[in-house]
Chains A and B, each alone.
Chain A
Protein backbone atom coordinates (compact mmCIF):
# COMPACT_ATOMS: atom_id res chain seq x y z
CA UNK A 1 0.00 0.00 0.00
CA UNK A 2 2.82 2.34 0.71
CA UNK A 3 4.91 1.36 -2.26
CA UNK A 4 3.96 4.47 -4.20
CA UNK A 5 4.67 6.77 -1.35
CA UNK A 6 8.15 5.61 -0.71
CA UNK A 7 9.24 7.44 -3.81
CA UNK A 8 10.86 10.63 -2.76
CA UNK A 9 11.99 13.79 -4.35
CA UNK A 10 15.37 15.09 -3.52
CA UNK A 11 15.62 18.71 -4.28
CA UNK A 12 19.08 20.13 -4.19
CA UNK A 13 19.28 23.80 -3.54
CA UNK A 14 22.53 25.15 -4.80
CA UNK A 15 22.03 28.54 -3.23
CA UNK A 16 21.40 27.48 0.32
CA UNK A 17 23.00 24.09 -0.03
CA UNK A 18 20.51 21.92 1.84
CA UNK A 19 18.65 18.84 0.76
CA UNK A 20 15.06 17.97 1.47
CA UNK A 21 13.35 14.64 0.95
CA UNK A 22 9.63 14.92 0.32
CA UNK A 23 7.37 11.91 -0.17
CA UNK A 24 5.44 12.07 -3.43
CA UNK A 25 1.77 11.20 -3.62
CA UNK A 26 -0.20 9.75 -6.50
CA UNK A 27 -2.85 12.41 -6.18
CA UNK A 28 -4.93 14.42 -3.73
CA UNK A 29 -6.79 11.35 -2.45
CA UNK A 30 -3.53 9.54 -1.84
CA UNK A 31 -2.21 12.52 0.09
CA UNK A 32 -5.39 12.81 2.15
CA UNK A 33 -5.32 9.12 3.02
CA UNK A 34 -1.71 9.47 4.10
CA UNK A 35 -2.50 12.44 6.35
CA UNK A 36 -5.44 10.56 7.86
CA UNK A 37 -3.35 7.48 8.58
CA UNK A 38 -0.42 9.50 9.79
CA UNK A 39 -2.50 11.14 12.49
CA UNK A 40 -4.56 7.99 13.09
CA UNK A 41 -7.76 9.82 12.34
CA UNK A 42 -11.08 8.01 12.08
CA UNK A 43 -11.90 8.15 8.40
CA UNK A 44 -15.63 8.42 9.18
CA UNK A 45 -15.07 11.46 11.36
CA UNK A 46 -12.44 13.60 9.72
CA UNK A 47 -11.55 16.85 11.47
CA UNK A 48 -11.81 18.90 8.31
CA UNK A 49 -10.10 22.06 9.62
CA UNK A 50 -7.04 20.16 10.78
CA UNK A 51 -6.77 18.03 7.63
CA UNK A 52 -7.23 21.09 5.43
CA UNK A 53 -4.38 22.83 7.23
CA UNK A 54 -2.09 19.84 6.81
CA UNK A 55 -3.11 19.45 3.21
CA UNK A 56 -2.35 23.08 2.40
CA UNK A 57 0.91 22.73 4.23
CA UNK A 58 1.95 19.94 1.88
CA UNK A 59 1.05 22.06 -1.16
CA UNK A 60 3.14 24.84 0.32
CA UNK A 61 6.06 22.42 0.64
CA UNK A 62 5.71 21.43 -2.98
CA UNK A 63 5.71 25.03 -4.04
CA UNK A 64 8.71 25.87 -1.89
CA UNK A 65 10.57 23.00 -3.48
CA UNK A 66 9.53 24.38 -6.85
CA UNK A 67 7.63 21.22 -7.71
CA UNK A 68 4.67 21.62 -9.99
CA UNK A 69 1.46 21.41 -8.06
CA UNK A 70 -0.94 19.51 -10.31
CA UNK A 71 -4.36 21.06 -10.86
CA UNK A 72 -5.93 18.00 -9.25
CA UNK A 73 -4.34 18.97 -5.93
CA UNK A 74 -5.73 22.49 -6.17
CA UNK A 75 -9.25 21.24 -6.89
CA UNK A 76 -9.11 19.15 -3.73
CA UNK A 77 -7.79 22.13 -1.75
CA UNK A 78 -10.82 24.11 -2.88
CA UNK A 79 -13.13 21.23 -1.97
CA UNK A 80 -11.59 20.98 1.49
CA UNK A 81 -11.93 24.70 2.15
CA UNK A 82 -15.52 24.71 1.02
CA UNK A 83 -16.18 21.77 3.35
CA UNK A 84 -14.45 23.55 6.17
CA UNK A 85 -16.70 26.58 5.79
CA UNK A 86 -19.81 24.41 5.57
CA UNK A 87 -18.82 22.63 8.77
CA UNK A 88 -18.81 25.98 10.54
CA UNK A 89 -22.43 26.67 9.71
CA UNK A 90 -24.92 25.88 12.47
CA UNK A 91 -26.38 22.41 12.08
CA UNK A 92 -30.14 22.04 11.81
CA UNK A 93 -32.03 19.68 14.07
CA UNK A 94 -30.90 16.15 13.28
CA UNK A 95 -34.27 14.55 13.94
CA UNK A 96 -35.62 16.41 10.95
CA UNK A 97 -35.71 14.01 7.97
CA UNK A 98 -34.95 16.75 5.50
CA UNK A 99 -31.62 17.24 7.23
CA UNK A 100 -28.98 16.98 4.53
CA UNK A 101 -26.32 14.37 5.12
CA UNK A 102 -22.98 15.26 6.63
CA UNK A 103 -21.17 17.55 4.17
CA UNK A 104 -18.12 15.31 4.55
CA UNK A 105 -20.00 12.24 3.36
CA UNK A 106 -19.10 12.56 -0.30
CA UNK A 107 -15.42 13.01 0.46
CA UNK A 108 -15.45 10.07 2.86
CA UNK A 109 -17.07 7.87 0.20
CA UNK A 110 -14.42 8.85 -2.33
CA UNK A 111 -11.64 8.16 0.16
CA UNK A 112 -13.07 4.76 1.08
CA UNK A 113 -13.47 3.81 -2.54
CA UNK A 114 -9.98 5.02 -3.38
CA UNK A 115 -8.57 3.08 -0.44
CA UNK A 116 -10.31 -0.03 -1.73
CA UNK A 117 -8.71 0.30 -5.15
CA UNK A 118 -5.38 1.05 -3.59
CA UNK A 119 -5.63 -2.29 -1.81
CA UNK A 120 -6.66 -3.90 -5.10
CA UNK A 121 -3.62 -2.34 -6.74
CA UNK A 122 -1.47 -3.75 -3.96
CA UNK A 123 -2.95 -7.22 -4.56
CA UNK A 124 -2.22 -6.87 -8.26
CA UNK A 125 1.33 -5.82 -7.44
CA UNK A 126 1.77 -8.98 -5.36
CA UNK A 127 0.37 -11.11 -8.17
CA UNK A 128 2.71 -9.40 -10.60
CA UNK A 129 5.60 -10.17 -8.28
CA UNK A 130 4.60 -13.87 -8.05
CA UNK A 131 4.04 -14.13 -11.74
CA UNK A 132 7.48 -12.76 -12.59
CA UNK A 133 8.85 -15.94 -10.99
CA UNK A 134 7.12 -18.10 -13.58
CA UNK A 135 8.73 -18.38 -16.97
CA UNK A 136 6.93 -19.72 -20.00
CA UNK A 137 8.27 -20.10 -23.49
CA UNK A 138 8.80 -16.51 -24.57
CA UNK A 139 6.82 -15.23 -27.51
CA UNK A 140 7.70 -12.19 -29.48
CA UNK A 141 8.00 -9.28 -27.09
CA UNK A 142 5.31 -7.53 -29.08
CA UNK A 143 4.88 -4.43 -27.03
CA UNK A 144 8.57 -3.83 -26.54
CA UNK A 145 8.84 -3.79 -30.29
CA UNK A 146 5.95 -1.40 -30.68
CA UNK A 147 7.46 1.05 -28.25
CA UNK A 148 10.72 1.03 -30.14
CA UNK A 149 8.92 1.60 -33.41
CA UNK A 150 7.52 4.86 -32.19
CA UNK A 151 10.97 6.36 -31.98
CA UNK A 152 11.66 5.61 -35.61
CA UNK A 153 11.74 8.32 -38.23
CA UNK A 154 10.31 8.04 -41.71
CA UNK A 155 12.67 7.64 -44.61
CA UNK A 156 12.09 9.92 -47.57
CA UNK A 157 11.86 8.54 -51.07
CA UNK A 158 15.09 10.26 -52.05
CA UNK A 159 17.01 8.72 -49.19
CA UNK A 160 15.64 5.36 -50.18
CA UNK A 161 16.69 5.78 -53.80
CA UNK A 162 20.08 6.92 -52.60
CA UNK A 163 20.42 3.87 -50.38
CA UNK A 164 19.36 1.68 -53.28
CA UNK A 165 21.92 3.29 -55.57
CA UNK A 166 24.66 2.60 -53.01
CA UNK A 167 23.76 -1.06 -52.74
CA UNK A 168 23.55 -1.52 -56.50
CA UNK A 169 26.91 0.17 -57.02
CA UNK A 170 28.64 -2.02 -54.46
CA UNK A 171 27.03 -5.21 -55.66
CA UNK A 172 27.46 -4.75 -59.39
CA UNK A 173 31.19 -4.13 -58.92
CA UNK A 174 31.59 -7.55 -57.43
CA UNK A 175 29.30 -9.35 -59.83
CA UNK A 176 30.40 -10.82 -63.09
CA UNK A 177 28.09 -10.01 -65.96
CA UNK A 178 25.85 -12.71 -67.18
CA UNK A 179 22.98 -12.50 -69.56
CA UNK A 180 19.85 -13.70 -67.83
CA UNK A 181 16.36 -14.30 -68.89
CA UNK A 182 13.98 -11.85 -67.30
CA UNK A 183 12.43 -14.20 -64.83
CA UNK A 184 11.34 -11.57 -62.34
CA UNK A 185 8.16 -9.66 -62.35
CA UNK A 186 7.21 -6.88 -59.98
CA UNK A 187 4.18 -8.93 -59.02
CA UNK A 188 6.31 -11.90 -58.01
CA UNK A 189 8.67 -9.74 -55.93
CA UNK A 190 5.71 -7.90 -54.44
CA UNK A 191 4.31 -11.20 -53.17
CA UNK A 192 7.76 -12.31 -52.10
CA UNK A 193 8.34 -9.20 -49.94
CA UNK A 194 4.90 -9.53 -48.38
CA UNK A 195 5.56 -13.18 -47.55
CA UNK A 196 8.84 -12.30 -45.86
CA UNK A 197 7.21 -9.49 -43.92
CA UNK A 198 4.29 -11.68 -42.87
CA UNK A 199 6.65 -13.97 -41.04
CA UNK A 200 9.13 -11.39 -39.75
CA UNK A 201 7.20 -8.10 -39.52
CA UNK A 202 10.29 -6.10 -40.41
CA UNK A 203 13.32 -6.60 -42.57
CA UNK A 204 16.41 -4.47 -43.25
CA UNK A 205 16.24 -2.70 -46.60
CA UNK A 206 19.71 -3.88 -47.57
CA UNK A 207 18.87 -7.56 -46.93
CA UNK A 208 15.72 -7.26 -48.96
CA UNK A 209 17.47 -5.79 -51.97
CA UNK A 210 20.43 -8.12 -51.74
CA UNK A 211 18.32 -11.26 -51.26
CA UNK A 212 18.94 -11.77 -54.95
CA UNK A 213 21.88 -9.70 -55.99
CA UNK A 214 21.57 -9.92 -59.74
CA UNK A 215 21.04 -6.45 -61.17
CA UNK A 216 17.61 -7.09 -62.65
CA UNK A 217 16.41 -8.74 -59.46
CA UNK A 218 17.51 -5.81 -57.33
CA UNK A 219 15.76 -3.33 -59.59
CA UNK A 220 12.60 -5.38 -59.70
CA UNK A 221 12.65 -5.85 -55.92
CA UNK A 222 13.06 -2.12 -55.49
CA UNK A 223 10.16 -1.41 -57.86
CA UNK A 224 8.01 -3.90 -55.97
CA UNK A 225 8.92 -2.17 -52.72
CA UNK A 226 7.86 1.19 -54.19
CA UNK A 227 4.55 -0.41 -55.18
CA UNK A 228 4.08 -1.69 -51.63
CA UNK A 229 4.77 1.77 -50.25
CA UNK A 230 2.32 3.30 -52.68
CA UNK A 231 -0.30 0.76 -51.64
CA UNK A 232 0.35 1.78 -47.99
CA UNK A 233 1.12 -1.80 -47.05
CA UNK A 234 4.60 -1.18 -45.71
CA UNK A 235 6.39 1.68 -44.01
CA UNK A 236 10.04 2.50 -44.40
CA UNK A 237 11.78 3.72 -41.27
CA UNK A 238 15.13 4.23 -39.63
CA UNK A 239 16.26 4.85 -36.08
CA UNK A 240 18.38 7.90 -36.87
CA UNK A 241 19.40 9.81 -39.97
CA UNK A 242 21.71 7.73 -42.20
CA UNK A 243 21.06 4.70 -39.99
CA UNK A 244 19.96 1.25 -41.03
CA UNK A 245 16.74 1.40 -43.09
CA UNK A 246 14.00 -1.05 -42.10
CA UNK A 247 10.90 -2.11 -43.98
CA UNK A 248 7.92 -2.65 -41.66
CA UNK A 249 4.70 -4.34 -42.58
CA UNK A 250 1.63 -2.28 -41.71
CA UNK A 251 -1.15 -3.99 -39.81
CA UNK A 252 -3.60 -3.49 -42.72
CA UNK A 253 -1.34 -5.66 -44.86
CA UNK A 254 -1.64 -8.63 -42.53
CA UNK A 255 -4.84 -9.75 -44.27
CA UNK A 256 -3.74 -8.69 -47.73
CA UNK A 257 -3.44 -11.72 -49.97
CA UNK A 258 -4.21 -10.82 -53.54
CA UNK A 259 -1.98 -8.09 -54.86
CA UNK A 260 -2.04 -7.35 -58.58
CA UNK A 261 -5.18 -9.25 -59.23
CA UNK A 262 -5.58 -7.87 -62.73
CA UNK A 263 -2.29 -6.24 -63.49
CA UNK A 264 1.37 -7.04 -63.23
Chain B
Protein backbone atom coordinates (compact mmCIF):
# COMPACT_ATOMS: atom_id res chain seq x y z
CA UNK B 1 0.00 0.00 0.00
CA UNK B 2 1.53 3.31 -1.00
CA UNK B 3 1.95 6.19 1.42
CA UNK B 4 -0.97 8.37 0.24
CA UNK B 5 -3.36 5.46 0.27
CA UNK B 6 -2.31 4.59 3.79
CA UNK B 7 -2.80 8.15 5.02
CA UNK B 8 -6.20 8.47 3.35
CA UNK B 9 -7.31 5.17 4.84
CA UNK B 10 -6.16 6.14 8.34
CA UNK B 11 -7.95 9.48 8.12
CA UNK B 12 -11.19 7.93 6.89
CA UNK B 13 -10.89 5.25 9.54
CA UNK B 14 -10.41 7.71 12.38
CA UNK B 15 -12.95 10.33 11.30
CA UNK B 16 -16.45 10.54 12.75
CA UNK B 17 -17.72 12.56 9.79
CA UNK B 18 -17.45 12.42 5.99
CA UNK B 19 -14.15 13.90 4.76
CA UNK B 20 -14.12 15.78 1.48
CA UNK B 21 -11.23 15.53 -0.94
CA UNK B 22 -10.50 19.17 -0.07
CA UNK B 23 -10.10 18.42 3.63
CA UNK B 24 -7.95 15.37 2.87
CA UNK B 25 -5.75 17.47 0.65
CA UNK B 26 -5.19 20.17 3.28
CA UNK B 27 -3.98 17.43 5.60
CA UNK B 28 -1.88 15.48 3.11
CA UNK B 29 -0.21 18.57 1.72
CA UNK B 30 2.19 17.13 -0.80
CA UNK B 31 -0.42 15.28 -2.84
CA UNK B 32 -2.85 16.56 -5.41
CA UNK B 33 -6.57 15.97 -5.64
CA UNK B 34 -6.19 13.36 -8.34
CA UNK B 35 -3.88 11.20 -6.23
CA UNK B 36 -6.32 11.34 -3.32
CA UNK B 37 -9.23 10.35 -5.52
CA UNK B 38 -7.20 7.48 -6.92
CA UNK B 39 -6.32 6.35 -3.42
CA UNK B 40 -10.00 6.38 -2.42
CA UNK B 41 -11.06 4.48 -5.53
CA UNK B 42 -8.33 1.94 -4.93
CA UNK B 43 -9.38 1.49 -1.29
CA UNK B 44 -13.02 1.12 -2.33
CA UNK B 45 -12.11 -1.57 -4.84
CA UNK B 46 -9.90 -3.32 -2.32
CA UNK B 47 -12.70 -3.43 0.31
CA UNK B 48 -15.22 -4.68 -2.24
CA UNK B 49 -12.98 -7.35 -3.69
CA UNK B 50 -11.75 -8.71 -0.39
CA UNK B 51 -15.29 -8.67 1.00
CA UNK B 52 -14.59 -6.44 3.97
CA UNK B 53 -17.41 -5.80 6.41
CA UNK B 54 -17.09 -2.07 5.79
CA UNK B 55 -17.14 0.18 2.75
CA UNK B 56 -16.34 3.74 1.73
CA UNK B 57 -19.49 5.74 0.99
CA UNK B 58 -19.94 9.16 -0.54
CA UNK B 59 -21.95 11.16 1.95
CA UNK B 60 -22.66 14.89 2.10
CA UNK B 61 -19.93 15.69 -0.39
CA UNK B 62 -17.26 13.61 1.38
CA UNK B 63 -16.14 10.07 2.03
CA UNK B 64 -16.82 8.00 5.11
CA UNK B 65 -16.18 4.43 6.16
CA UNK B 66 -19.42 2.67 7.12
CA UNK B 67 -20.25 -0.92 7.98
CA UNK B 68 -22.13 -2.89 5.34
CA UNK B 69 -25.90 -3.19 5.78
CA UNK B 70 -25.85 -6.97 6.30
CA UNK B 71 -24.00 -6.48 9.60
CA UNK B 72 -26.49 -3.92 10.90
CA UNK B 73 -28.29 -6.34 13.27
CA UNK B 74 -25.11 -6.90 15.29
CA UNK B 75 -23.79 -3.36 15.20
CA UNK B 76 -27.22 -2.18 16.30
CA UNK B 77 -26.94 -4.38 19.37
CA UNK B 78 -23.63 -2.71 20.17
CA UNK B 79 -25.10 0.79 19.91
CA UNK B 80 -28.45 -0.07 21.38
CA UNK B 81 -28.31 2.62 24.03
CA UNK B 82 -27.66 5.41 21.56
CA UNK B 83 -30.09 4.44 18.83
CA UNK B 84 -32.37 7.35 18.19
CA UNK B 85 -35.94 7.23 17.04
CA UNK B 86 -36.86 7.58 13.39
CA UNK B 87 -38.45 10.78 12.16
CA UNK B 88 -42.21 11.17 12.40
CA UNK B 89 -44.47 11.42 9.35
CA UNK B 90 -45.04 15.19 9.81
CA UNK B 91 -41.27 15.66 10.16
CA UNK B 92 -40.62 13.69 6.95
CA UNK B 93 -43.29 15.62 5.01
CA UNK B 94 -41.92 18.95 6.20
CA UNK B 95 -38.37 17.90 5.37
CA UNK B 96 -39.42 16.73 1.91
CA UNK B 97 -40.98 20.11 1.17
CA UNK B 98 -37.90 21.97 2.43
CA UNK B 99 -35.57 19.67 0.49
CA UNK B 100 -37.36 20.28 -2.82
CA UNK B 101 -38.39 23.90 -2.41
CA UNK B 102 -35.47 25.40 -0.50
CA UNK B 103 -34.95 28.12 0.48
CA UNK B 104 -38.51 28.34 1.72
CA UNK B 105 -40.33 30.26 4.46
CA UNK B 106 -42.55 28.69 7.09
CA UNK B 107 -45.80 30.09 5.70
CA UNK B 108 -45.15 28.42 2.34
CA UNK B 109 -44.48 25.06 3.97
CA UNK B 110 -47.66 25.42 6.02
CA UNK B 111 -49.64 26.23 2.92
CA UNK B 112 -48.30 23.15 1.12
CA UNK B 113 -48.95 20.83 4.05
CA UNK B 114 -52.18 22.50 5.10
CA UNK B 115 -51.22 22.45 8.78
CA UNK B 116 -49.29 24.49 11.31
CA UNK B 117 -45.70 23.25 11.66
CA UNK B 118 -44.20 25.10 14.63
CA UNK B 119 -43.15 22.07 16.64
CA UNK B 120 -41.88 20.11 13.66
CA UNK B 121 -39.61 22.95 12.48
CA UNK B 122 -38.03 23.22 15.91
CA UNK B 123 -37.36 19.49 16.04
CA UNK B 124 -35.72 19.59 12.61
CA UNK B 125 -33.63 22.61 13.60
CA UNK B 126 -32.54 20.89 16.81
CA UNK B 127 -31.54 17.80 14.88
CA UNK B 128 -29.56 20.05 12.57
CA UNK B 129 -31.35 18.59 9.54
CA UNK B 130 -32.39 22.09 8.47
CA UNK B 131 -30.95 25.51 9.07
CA UNK B 132 -31.83 29.16 8.56
CA UNK B 133 -30.48 30.20 5.16
CA UNK B 134 -31.37 33.86 5.37
CA UNK B 135 -34.41 36.11 5.23
CA UNK B 136 -36.87 36.56 2.43
CA UNK B 137 -37.12 40.09 1.05
CA UNK B 138 -40.82 40.47 1.72
CA UNK B 139 -43.14 41.79 4.39
CA UNK B 140 -41.85 40.84 7.83
CA UNK B 141 -38.61 39.49 6.34
CA UNK B 142 -39.47 35.89 7.29
CA UNK B 143 -36.70 33.30 7.81
CA UNK B 144 -35.79 31.05 4.92
CA UNK B 145 -35.05 27.41 5.68
CA UNK B 146 -32.88 24.92 3.83
CA UNK B 147 -31.35 21.50 4.40
CA UNK B 148 -27.90 20.89 5.90
CA UNK B 149 -24.99 18.51 5.34
CA UNK B 150 -26.32 16.57 8.31
CA UNK B 151 -29.53 16.09 6.29
CA UNK B 152 -27.51 14.53 3.46
CA UNK B 153 -25.55 12.35 5.86
CA UNK B 154 -28.67 11.29 7.76
CA UNK B 155 -30.41 10.10 4.61
CA UNK B 156 -27.25 8.62 3.09
CA UNK B 157 -27.07 11.14 0.25
CA UNK B 158 -24.00 12.65 -1.33
CA UNK B 159 -25.70 15.72 -2.75
CA UNK B 160 -29.22 17.10 -2.73
CA UNK B 161 -29.74 16.19 -6.41
CA UNK B 162 -29.42 12.52 -5.44
CA UNK B 163 -33.08 12.76 -4.43
CA UNK B 164 -35.49 11.70 -7.19
CA UNK B 165 -36.49 14.63 -9.39
CA UNK B 166 -40.01 15.96 -8.99
CA UNK B 167 -40.95 14.43 -12.36
CA UNK B 168 -39.93 10.98 -11.15
CA UNK B 169 -41.95 11.50 -7.99
CA UNK B 170 -45.16 12.20 -9.87
CA UNK B 171 -44.74 8.96 -11.79
CA UNK B 172 -44.45 7.19 -8.44
CA UNK B 173 -47.75 8.70 -7.29
CA UNK B 174 -49.70 7.52 -10.35
CA UNK B 175 -51.21 4.50 -8.64
CA UNK B 176 -51.95 5.48 -5.08
CA UNK B 177 -53.82 2.95 -3.03
CA UNK B 178 -55.30 3.63 0.34
CA UNK B 179 -54.18 0.94 2.75
CA UNK B 180 -56.97 -1.57 3.20
CA UNK B 181 -56.48 -1.67 6.94
CA UNK B 182 -56.98 2.04 7.33
CA UNK B 183 -60.09 2.05 5.16
CA UNK B 184 -61.60 -0.78 7.20
CA UNK B 185 -60.67 0.96 10.40
CA UNK B 186 -62.13 4.21 9.21
CA UNK B 187 -65.37 2.68 8.04
CA UNK B 188 -65.60 0.69 11.26
CA UNK B 189 -65.36 3.88 13.30
CA UNK B 190 -67.96 5.61 11.15
CA UNK B 191 -70.30 2.66 11.46
CA UNK B 192 -69.87 2.37 15.19
CA UNK B 193 -70.27 6.01 16.09
CA UNK B 194 -72.52 7.56 13.51
CA UNK B 195 -74.50 4.42 12.81
CA UNK B 196 -77.95 5.21 11.41
CA UNK B 197 -77.05 8.79 10.46
CA UNK B 198 -74.68 7.34 7.87
CA UNK B 199 -77.52 6.57 5.46
CA UNK B 200 -78.44 10.19 4.99
CA UNK B 201 -74.94 11.11 3.98
CA UNK B 202 -74.76 8.40 1.38
CA UNK B 203 -77.93 9.50 -0.30
CA UNK B 204 -76.56 13.00 -0.65
CA UNK B 205 -73.40 11.57 -2.10
CA UNK B 206 -74.22 12.00 -5.79
CA UNK B 207 -71.59 13.96 -7.57
CA UNK B 208 -72.64 17.42 -8.52
CA UNK B 209 -70.34 18.78 -11.10
CA UNK B 210 -70.96 20.65 -14.31
CA UNK B 211 -70.98 18.48 -17.38
CA UNK B 212 -67.66 16.85 -17.98
CA UNK B 213 -65.27 19.77 -17.56
CA UNK B 214 -62.12 18.05 -16.49
CA UNK B 215 -59.54 20.54 -15.37
CA UNK B 216 -55.87 19.81 -15.20
**Residues of chain A at the chain B interface (Cβ within 8 Å):** 1-8, 18, 20-23, 26-30, 33-34, 37-38, 44-50, 53-54, 57, 60-61, 64-65, 70-72, 76, 84, 87-88, 91, 94, 101-102, 104-105, 108, 110, 113-125, 127-144, 146-147
Contact = CB atoms under 8 A, between A and B. Distances in A.
Given A117-B112, A138-B16, A1 B176 contact: yes
Contacts of A135: 66-67, 71-72, 75-76, 79
Given A38-B186, A50-B204, A64-B193, 6 more contacts: A22-B189, A27-B114, A50-B206, A124-B96, A137-B15, A139-B16
B169 A116 contact: yes
Interface string B176-202: 111101110110111011100010010
Interface string B11-34: 001111100000000000000000
A139 B96 contact: no
Contact of B178 (A34, A91, A137): A34
A72 to B, nearest CB: 5
B156 A134 contact: yes
Please provide the 10 A-B residue pairs with the shortest distance between their CB atoms, ordered closest to farther.
Answer: A47-B207, A4-B89, A139-B16, A27-B115, A131-B156, A120-B96, A133-B69, A37-B178, A2-B179, A133-B72
Interface stretch (B44-52, B80-88, B130-138): B80-88
Contacts of B209: 45-48, 87, 104
Contacts, number: 227
A117 B96 contact: yes
Contacts of A57: 190, 194, 198, 201
A232 B17 CA distance: 31
Contact of A5 (B177, B182, B216): B182
A49 B186 contact: no
Contacts of B95: 121, 124
A42 B71 CA distance: 45
B107 interface: no
Given A88-B208, A124-B92, A76 B14 contact: no
B143 interface: no
Contacts of B179: 2, 5-6
Interface in B136-183: 154-157, 163-164, 166, 169-170, 172-173, 176-179, 181-183
Contacts of B97: 117, 120
8 contacts: A7-B89, A26-B90, A49-B207, A50-B204, A61-B193, A102-B215, A121-B95, A123-B164
A20 B185 CA distance: 9
Contacts of A143: 126-128
A153 to B, nearest CB: 19
B102 to A, nearest CB: 13
B77 to A, nearest CB: 11
Contacts of B198: 57
A31 B100 CA distance: 23
A144 B83 CA distance: 10
